[in-house]
Amino acid sequence: MKNIKRLLALVLCLMMVLTACGTTEQPAVDDEPEENELDSESTAFKAGTYSATKTGYAGPLTVEVTVDEGSIKDIILTDFNDTVMVGTQAFETISKEILQHQTLNVDMVSGATISSAAVIGAVTDALTQAQADIDALKAKTIEKEAAGQLDWQTEVLIIGSGMAGMSAAIEAANKGAKVIMLEKLGRIDGTTTLSAGWVHAAGTTIQERNGIEDNVDRFYEDWMMFAANAKDEYVEEELVRYTTENSPQNIQWLKEQGVIFSDNLMAAGIYEGRNIPRIHMVEGGNGYIMKYLFETAEKVGVETHLNTPATELIKEGNKVVGAKAVDKDGNQITIKAEAVIIASGGFAGNKELMAKYYPQYTDYVNTSVNTGDSLMFAEAVGADIIVKNALQLHHNLINDTSLGYFTPECIYVTPEGERYVDEAEYFYTRTRTLNEKGFGDTHMIVPHELYEAKKESIEEAIKIGRAFKADTVEELAELMDMDPLVFKNTIDRYNELVEVGVDSDFNKPSEYLFPIEAPYIGLDLTGNLNDTYVSMRINNNAQVIDTEGNIIEGLYAAGAAASAQTLNQEYIGSGSALLNGLTFGRVAAAHAVSLLEN
């Protein structure tokens, strides 16, 4: 972890220019003959420097490996197009292990397996060029000490290193508290790092510079309008009001913590409530918001432990006084703390919890690292869990996710073949409407104009059985397991609307009305599950409330762990969840530290 800032600086340079150039050197590993020198009888190298490239999570990465006749001397990252905070941390961790132990038999970085495989693969290819005995390098094991019991002490313990956790950690450290932050993955954060890094806000100086008239009152009204559309009884006006009113200050706070924002803004949709540009975009794109914040967290003294999942909370009487955890070497850790802030995510990656709370969406469990661990051990100490039938999910074509975001030329139909929405609506509005009808699946019917624009993707989807083409409406209905009569009526009715040029059923703008004609094309869309809204109940201080309505002293929650009272099925726009985590991560930390001072 000590060298990550140097690597991230390299990545910033590489990704912000059109042509990557130059290299950066990694500090030489301390001489450890017992660890670093290979058995000369089993492995030897042709001395020199060798380069190799593999594809990581989001793009290629290139390494240069320097060897002498007896050992691997250096590994540097010379070109990088992977996701920052995923690829860089995978490289940092794995290259250090290879150099220290002179083996290719190293663990993948949890949460960065694709990038880890790319790093190992690139180093392996480079060593192959050096005429190394690859089998011997893969066979050499790393000896580890026997696991034991560790006891730690801190003032504020934070579980999770995403937007909520990182904001809480920096806020608490800035206020003078000793902070330990646990992350179960081998890299910083679970979902924020993989997000676009956008933050929803209103009344900001960036909006002012762009001549955008907006304010926090209007932001609040729009947010609550969508909560009303979703009929969400759990959303609390006071918490939403605090979130929206403090959004410009929180954008400023992010800037003060080193986050660099673009001058460009984006609107979430075309209709009222989403048509004002409020999406604040971070320079660098995916992962950079966490890069900037993590650098600040290190500067202010936050003690971060990766590969260290919390396993349970420690409660004495009605107060949470710490947590237990385990590290990657199996050490059992007891951490005593004055305050514990749960800032880990939902459970989009836990099939059992999805089946329990969202049975209609069980098949949409994704590869998310969020498995609801904190929800379960918070419930074990009496936390009140808010359960609502709402989640962050939208539908896309599996091999081209652009088909499903904003494709108003199409028509969307239920699994029975019935049209149910204005296709120009925001994608979470479509999901909410579909959910109200009792469906978790949807199909897209494609006019010829959209087919021509996306012909390559659609033809590929046909080959893999996720799209279908037929000469008649009835044949397409059969291929897609829809009710032929319902679907025929849907197509006939829609074509009537197209002919008169007015969508009197759902009011889709006329410029998006195109006839559905033979050959008929239908796409079987896949649910893209982002996050869940089953979470802990909190008060205005982000303190967790128990099932009796009482505060659980010493326990706080923020982000996805406490989203049910602010976020709703409609979801006002990209960056709302990050704003929520940022807002209440800071609230939790400020309140916890204020109690330390009394």
Lowest mean pLDDT among 37-46, 222-231, 272-281, 454-463: 37-46
Confidence of residue 541 (pLDDT cuts 50, 70, 90): very high
Residue 298 backbone dihedrals phi, psi, to 5 degrees: -65, -40
- C-alpha to C-alpha distances, 352 to 125, 358, 535, nearest whole angstrom: 40, 10, 16
Domain stop point among 529, 544, 562: 529
Q: What is the pLDDT of residues 374-420, one digit of tens each?
A: 999 999 999 999 998 888 888 999 999 899 989 999 999 999 999 99
CA-nearest of 275, 295, 291 to 283 is: 291
Note whether 358 and 338 are within 8 A (CB). no
Domain shared by 168 and 300, yes or no: yes
Q: Which long-range contacts does 216-221 make (Cβ < 8 Å, 24+ apart)? A: 216/244, 216/245, 216/247, 216/248, 218/276, 219/244, 219/247, 219/278, 220/244, 220/245
Domain shared by 208 and 345, yes or no: yes
Domain shared by 524 and 559, yes or no: no
Domain shared by 287 and 182, yes or no: yes
Q: What is the pLDDT of residues 30-88, one digit of tens each?
A: 444 444 444 444 458 999 999 999 988 778 889 999 999 999 999 999 887 766 667 77
pTM for this one? 0.84
Q: How far apart are CA 358 and CA 348, in angstroms?
A: 10
Domain shared by 93 and 194, yes or no: no
Specify the number of domains making up the chain.
3
**230 is a domain residue:** yes
**352 is a domain residue:** yes
CATH code of the domain in which 91 resides: 3.90.1010
Domain shared by 425 and 319, yes or no: no
Q: How far apart are CA 101 and CA 93, in angstroms?
A: 12
Domain stop point among 139, 159, 175: 139
> If residue 137 lies in a helix (H) or strand (E), which one and from where to where?
helix 134-139
Domain shared by 489 and 359, yes or no: no
Q: Residues 142, 143, 146, 152: is their CA dihedral positive or negative?
A: negative
Q: What is the pLDDT of residues 417-432, one digit of tens each?
A: 999 999 999 999 999 9
Confidence of residue 366 (pLDDT cuts 50, 70, 90): low
Domain shared by 125 and 15, yes or no: yes
Note whether 324 and 157 are within 8 A (CB). no
pLDDT attached to residue 225: 97
Amino acid at 13: C
| Averaged pLDDT score across all residues of the chain | 89
CATH code of the domain in which 219 resides: 3.50.50.60
Lowest mean pLDDT among 60-64, 356-360, 496-500: 356-360
pLDDT attached to residue 10: 43
**146 is a domain residue:** no
**144 is a domain residue:** no
257: which DSSP letter?
Answer: T
Contacts of 233 (CB under 8 A, 6+ apart): 388
Domain shared by 452 and 557, yes or no: no
Amino acid at 543: Q
Domain, as residue range, for 45? 4-139
Note whether 171 and 590 are within 8 A (CB). yes
Domain stop point among 87, 108, 139: 139
Domain shared by 459 and 549, yes or no: no
Domain shared by 230 and 277, yes or no: yes
Nearest-10 crossing angle of helices 576-597, 247-256: 80
**145 is a domain residue:** no
Q: What is the pLDDT of residues 107-144, one digit of tens each?
A: 888 777 888 899 999 999 999 999 999 999 999 988 88
Domain shared by 444 and 537, yes or no: no
